[in-house]
């Protein structure tokens, strides 16, 4: 299958569904040999960590866009399905490829897989080259003075804040197509929901693909970054970038976002404080990758050993109520319904619903992590696991366990007009502001006038927050004593 122009290079796309700032694609293009771009639906990914429903929806559309963009450069995206450790070497043989390139991923299962494939290919005298993945700095390049990984964020951020970030690469021009191999059809992968079709809210909210990512970044820099510090905690406002799914799928890189933000600041003389507060979040993203790389059991295992004996409760009814946004706490329910409707939830509300699950309901953080994995379009093994452990108080540099979010005061503080709750929990929208975050305190006539019948049209609180808090703290004391 070798073409007249030499043996082809296989460019294996994974979480880098873009043409610009794509070091692997760029290197392949610069070599000048024909290129075969591949996306492989990897059946070897461990079951729990295969893309969840919302991620599969995203992937479908992202691959459509990637295919179009590659076609614009003269290449046809090859789609295959299979166990990567077998499928990649076998495809290399089929194509007569002499080189395979990819951008690195940092999940432990991806690292294991890539090492195995690299060893097999090298044994067969196939060149393998991998490049930096979608981070500001690769996880092993940041270390403490003692040569150890960081487990606390502030010094990690101090170490990277002023470090130069690699300048993004331009997309290659026209490329030479390698031999055609038989591929699969995206429609046959069944990534989109059939019946029921729950993806209406996702379609209305998101534009997967590289152009969609660029559009979001542009709009954010133009309209919101200069108010980021003030608005970022307000779920009732459009105050954050909404870039997380694009970053997860590598439709845009952290390097591109970093440099574009710096450029915006230099060109407009905008608010440095706000811009840095935003860049700091990219720092958190790198920190999550750093933690996952150095502690590969992070998605499955409680990081602080003393929490491994925590008396988590099994309560299927309470868990179902939480998943469905039927806990009777309006800010929690609004967040969980936003998540289900559009595949994304505001960061502040993620912390509130997380705290409610692990502290008020005392349900294991892993249950929350799994639900998020299935329902988030930005589901990311590193950020999801590290943030769930942060919320639960058992992770690296986590919120102290005894800091338990009060869902009423959090709602009143961060959704002061109630616009967020009214949007996602319409059955209580007619309640006056002062009862919106605590309908159970409203007098009977007020409830009646608002058309609310507690326990019928909207649930009564699943637990009493004060009591739940006491129980959680008592359990925590037990864990502390046990560990002493
Ligand atoms: C329980 C819980 C689970 C989470 N799970 C995920 C997840 O699976 N995937 C995910 O991308 N984020 C996760 N986050 C972090 C955060 O909520 C989202 O990244 C953020 O809400 C995305 O919205 P945005 O793009 O508008 O963020 P912005 O505020 O615009 O921030 C810019 C970017 O910085 C990164 N970022 C922001 N906050 C964090 C953070 N706390 N930790 C790591 N990276 C961050 C994201 O890539 C984000 O796109 C989780 C947070 C919590 C509390």
Can you list the domains of the chain with their CATH numbers? 9-133 (3.40.50.620), 134-166+209-294 (1.25.40.80), 305-483 (1.10.579.10)
> Cβ distance 27 to 11 under 8 Å?
no
CA 475 to chain CA mean position, Å: 31
pLDDT mean for each 10 residues of the chain (484 residues): 74 98 98 97 93 98 98 98 98 98 98 98 98 98 97 97 98 97 97 95 98 98 96 97 98 98 94 96 98 97 90 97 98 98 98 98 98 98 97 88 93 98 98 98 98 98 97 88 54
Q: Any residues with CB less than 8 A from the CB of 281 and at least 6 apart, and which?
A: none
- How close is the Cα of 380 to the center of ligand 1, in Å? 9
For this structure, is 49 an active site residue? no
256 close to ligand 1 (CB < 6 Angstrom): no
CA distance 257 to 271: 16
With beta carbons less than 8 A apart as the criterion, state whether 293 and 469 touch.
no
Q: What is the pLDDT of residue 398?
A: 79
pLDDT given at position 481: 67
Give residue 439's pLDDT: 98
Q: How far is the CA of 244 from the centre of ligand 1 (A)?
A: 6
DSSP bridge pairs for 347: none
329: nearest Cα among 462, 468, 454, 444: 462
Sheet holding 78-82, edge to edge: 78-82, 35-42, 9-13, 99-103, 127-131
Residue 232 Cβ inside 6 Å of ligand 1? The answer reads yes
Ligand 1 contact, 354 CB (< 6 A): yes
Instruction: Choose the residue to mutate in 246, 250, 387 for probing ligand 1, maximizing ligand atoms within 8 Å of C-beta.
Output: 387
> Cα separation of 240 and 238, whole Å?
6
- In angstroms, what CA-CA distances link 436 with 95, 273, 336? 63, 33, 17
Q: What angle do CA 68, 111, 260 make, to 5 degrees?
A: 50
Residue 467: how many CB atoms within 10 A of its CB?
10
Tell me how far the alpha carbon of residue 92 is from its chain's centroid: 31
What pTM was estimated for this model as a whole? 0.97
Catalytic annotation, pick one of 295, 312, 344, 424: 312
């Amino acid at each position: 299958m070798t073409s007249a122009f030499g043996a082809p290079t296989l460019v294996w796309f994974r979480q880098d569904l873009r043409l610009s700032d794509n070091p692997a694609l760029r290197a392949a293009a610069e070599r000048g040999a024909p290129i075969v771009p591949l996306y492989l639906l990897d059946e070897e990914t461990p079951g729990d960590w295969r893309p969840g429903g919302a991620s599969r929806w995203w992937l479908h559309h992202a691959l459509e866009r990637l295919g179009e963009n590659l076609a614009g450069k003269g290449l046809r995206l090859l789609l295959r399905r299979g166990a990567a450790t077998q499928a990649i070497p076998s495809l290399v043989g089929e194509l007569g490829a002499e080189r395979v390139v990819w951008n690195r991923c940092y999940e432990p299962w991806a690292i294991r897989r890539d090492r195995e494939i690299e060893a097999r290919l090298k044994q067969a005298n196939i060149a393998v080259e991998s490049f930096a993945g979608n981070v500001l700095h690769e996880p092993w390049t940041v270390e403490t003075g003692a040569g150890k990984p960081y487990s606390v964020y502030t010094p990690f951020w101090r170490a990277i804040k002023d470090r130069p970030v690699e300048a993004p690469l331009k997309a290659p021009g026209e490329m030479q197509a390698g031999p055609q191999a038989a591929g699969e059809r995206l429609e046959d992968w069944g990534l989109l929901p059939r019946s029921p079709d729950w993806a209406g809210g996702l379609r209305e909210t998101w534009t997967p693909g590289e152009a969609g990512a660029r559009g979001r970044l542009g709009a954010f820099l133009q309209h919101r970054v200069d108010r980021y510090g003030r608005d970022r905690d307000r779920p009732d406002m459009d105050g954050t970038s909404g870039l997380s799914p694009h970053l997860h799928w590598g439709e845009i890189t952290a390097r591109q976002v970093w440099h574009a933000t710096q450029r915006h600041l230099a060109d407009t003389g905008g608010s440095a404080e706000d811009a840095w507060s935003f860049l700091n979040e990219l720092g958190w993203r790198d920190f999550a990758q750093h933690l996952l790389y150095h502690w590969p059991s992070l998605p499955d295992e409680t990081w602080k050993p003393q929490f491994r004996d925590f008396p988590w409760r099994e309560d299927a009814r309470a868990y179902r109520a939480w998943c469905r946004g039927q806990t009777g706490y309006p800010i929690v329910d609004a967040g969980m319904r936003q998540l289900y409707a559009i595949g994304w939830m505001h960061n502040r509300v993620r912390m509130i619903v997380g705290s409610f699950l692990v502290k008020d309901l005392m349900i294991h953080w892993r249950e929350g992590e799994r639900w998020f994995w299935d329902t988030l379009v930005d589901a990311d093994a590193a950020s999801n696991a590290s943030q769930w452990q942060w919320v639960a108080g058992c992770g690296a540099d986590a919120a102290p366990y005894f800091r338990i979010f009060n869902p009423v005061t959090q709602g009143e503080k961060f959704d002061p007009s109630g616009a967020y709750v009214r949007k996602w929990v319409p059955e209580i929208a007619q309640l006056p502001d002062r009862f919106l975050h605590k309908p159970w305190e409203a007098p009977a006539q007020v409830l009646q006038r608002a058309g609310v019948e507690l326990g019928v049209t909207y649930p009564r609180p699943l637990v009493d927050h004060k009591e739940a808090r006491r129980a959680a703290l008592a359990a925590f004391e037990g864990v502390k004593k046990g560990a002493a």
